[in-house]
Structure formats: structure tokens, C-alpha cells
Amino acid sequence: MRGKKIIIFIFLIIFCDNVYSQSKNVFFEDINFEFNYHNGFLYAHHPSIAYLTQSYINGFDIKIGKSTNGDHLWEQLYRYPEIGIGFYNSNLGNSEVLGNVNAIYSYINLPIIKNNKIRFDYNFAFGISYLQKCFNTSDNYNNLAIGSKVNVYLNFGFDFKLKLLKQLYLITGLEYTHFSNGAVKKPNLGLNLITCQTGLQYFLNDNDKELIHNKIPNFEKRNEYSVILSGGIKQIAPPGGKTYPVSSASFNAYRYLNLKHKIGLGIDIFYDSSIDMFLKMNNNGTLNDIENKKNDLYSTGIHLSHDLVFNKLSLTTQLGYYLYSTIDRDFYSRLGFKYKFSEHFFANLTLKTHWGRADFIEFGLGYFFN
């Protein structure tokens, strides 16, 4: 089956190259195709899933990418990155419990070193994945890592490209890949893969298109403020239990350091209806007959943040500390995206975690002003 997929992939390259040579469509001038083989291992980040690792990871991905040439300012700021979409397929080191995974995603490759012969990049990818097997009380109760078949796909890596021919590059690199559902369905310890990749990248032209070098405008440091309202759902142990609504409100003050980076300080208010059940639960699984106050379902915290800005899209990371919480916990963190779709409004998608363990996914709407 894998051999057939590789043959189909090579056929698509030849077909698209033929179409390009006949039509001379300008769109295809910057298009490339990439195929990578991945080999590595499942990293057991929690002792309870260490037994899942039985064999090495073997997988592949297929990408369709487009080189940027500086038409937009952010492309020049990030040294003319490459953007695209991809398909990923792999086993997970344990065919009986975990099965295989498929994912579709978007990605960006950001150059560190780039010339006519070599290229060294770091890259991000985000998408959605489908795992063949997940936790099931009847026939797959040993899977304590993943509670749903549909999960988020996250990838971060470094790759080195060496030019072999006019339009062909050899690729080697190191990748970190993560799958989880953001605690929408328990269990959700998540899966982490560490793999090496080897592959080929083929451009439909000679990849020597002239780059735009406009003068970078002068930058003045400035402040920005935002308010974000978000909501989501989560499930707590045991698996298969009730789903609880959660929400958050955040006020943030940012300082732009330059056109690519901004740092900030913020205040958070969280509402988590699952805390009521958590406070009632005894260690033996029975419930106390107590009535918790509504205030017990709220918590507050402060956070530090950093945003990496790509025009209207930004990658945000945060580290927070609880000022008030009825549950014994201290730090929390966030990782996610913001997308400005109007002059003052943006969409917010972040994963809130406690020491790497997912709390819930925040879907929100934000308003920013200067």
C-alpha cells in the first residue's frame, strides 16, 4: 500500500510539471512538492503510558508548498518563508493499542540560512488528525493516552536542504509531533513523537525568482490592549463521564518590540463547572454530599505573554500564575493563535495547560485597541 502511494505521488509531480510546461500558469511558478520518510520513537512523557512503546515509528508526509517572494512586508521580515499544506501518515509504535494516524495540516518554513545551494529552516505545522484507535472501555482500555479519534496535530522541527539538481533538493531533519484533543474527551495524556526525516523537494521551476527587497519602514515601539472572551468544553476522570462547559475572560496589555515581536502582561478570570465535581470527589471515587459555592467555580490569574507576528496571524505563548483557585495548583500556560480579521477584532484559539497537561481548548473572540 505504501508503495502505491509513493508511485501516485511521483505521478502527480510529473503530471503537474507537464501541465505547468504547457500552460505557463504564473501561479505554479513558486510551487514545490515534498515527500519525507519519518523514523523515530514515541516519547513516553508520563509513566502511565511508558508501556505503550513497543516498536519504532515509521511514517511519511506529502507537502505542497509555495515560496514567498516579498510581496508582503512580513515575508521580507521572515526572510521569504515557504507556506503550504500537507498530509501525514504514520504508525504509533503499538499497532494493537494505538493503530495508525492520518493528519492534514498547514505549515510554514522559516529560513535560518538560505543561499543557492543550501537551506536551513525551522518550521511549524498545525492541523487535524484522525487516530485509528482510541480508549474504549470494552476492547481498548489499555490506551490511556488518547480518548478520541479526532485530535489536534502540532509539529515543530528543523530541516536542512541540499540542492542536488536545478529543481531538486535533498532533505534531512528532526521533528517533534504532538496529538491531543485538549481534554475534550478523557483520557488525554496525548502522544508525542520524536522522529528524523529524510526526503526530497521538487520545484516546478528553477526556484530563482527575483525577490522583492523593499525598504523596511521605521518602527516606533507602541502599546496595544485587548480583551478576549473564550469558551470551551472539557471532561474529567473517569473516561466516558460528563462534559462540562468552561470559559475565560482576559485583559492584556502588549508592548511591540519590533514588527515581529510583542510582549505583554495580562489578567485572567476562569470559569470551570467541572470544579464542582472535582471538589466533591473522594479518593475512592465516591461523592461527598456537599454544596459548593458558585465562587468556587471561578479562578483568577496573571500571565506573561509573547506573540510572534505574521501580518494578521500571530503565534502566542503565555505563562500564568493563579492568584486564586479552590484547587491546589500554581502555574498554567497557553499556546495558540490569533487572527485579526478586521480593524479591531480577532479570532482566538489557544490550548490552556497545567505543566504540559491539557486543561481545555479556548475558542474566543477578541477586541484590541491602542
DSSP code per residue over 41-88: EE---SGGGGGG--S-EEEEEEEEEEE--SSSHHHHHTTS-EEEEEEE
Alpha carbons 54 and 94: distance in angstroms, whole number: 6
For the chain, give the mean pLDDT. Answer: 88
What does each C-alpha distance from 297 to 11, 35, 149, 209, 294 come to in angstroms?
57, 49, 30, 57, 6
> What is the predicted pLDDT for the residue at 202?
95
Element (H, E) at 280: helix 274-280
Beta carbons of 35 and 6 less than 8 angstroms apart: yes
> What is the predicted pLDDT for the residue at 46?
76
- pTM of the predicted model as reported, rounded to 2 decimal places: 0.85
Write phi, then psi, for 96 (nearest 5 degrees): -75, -40
Q: Is 220 helix (H, G, I), strand (E, B) or coil?
A: coil
Q: Which pairs with CB-CB distance under 8 Å and at least 24 residues apart come from 70-73?
A: 70/211, 70/212, 70/213, 70/214, 71/212, 72/311, 73/214, 73/216, 73/217, 73/259, 73/311
Summarize pLDDT for 33-48 with one digit per residue, the tens: 999 999 999 987 777 7
**CA-based nearest residue to 200, from 232, 173, 239:** 173
> What is the predicted pLDDT for the residue at 283?
58
Beta carbons of 235 and 359 less than 8 angstroms apart: no
**CA-based nearest residue to 343, from 307, 305, 312:** 312
Beta carbons of 259 and 156 less than 8 angstroms apart: no
| 155, pLDDT greater than 80 | yes
Beta carbons of 213 and 327 less than 8 angstroms apart: no
How far does CA 41 lie from the centroid of its chain? 19
> What is the predicted pLDDT for the residue at 81?
95
Summarize pLDDT for 289-334 with one digit per residue, the tens: 677 788 899 999 999 999 999 999 999 999 999 999 999 899 999 9
> What is the predicted pLDDT for the residue at 47?
75
Domains and CATH numbers, the chain: 2-203 (2.40.160.20), 223-369 (2.40.160.20)
Summarize pLDDT for 331-345 with one digit per residue, the tens: 999 999 999 999 999
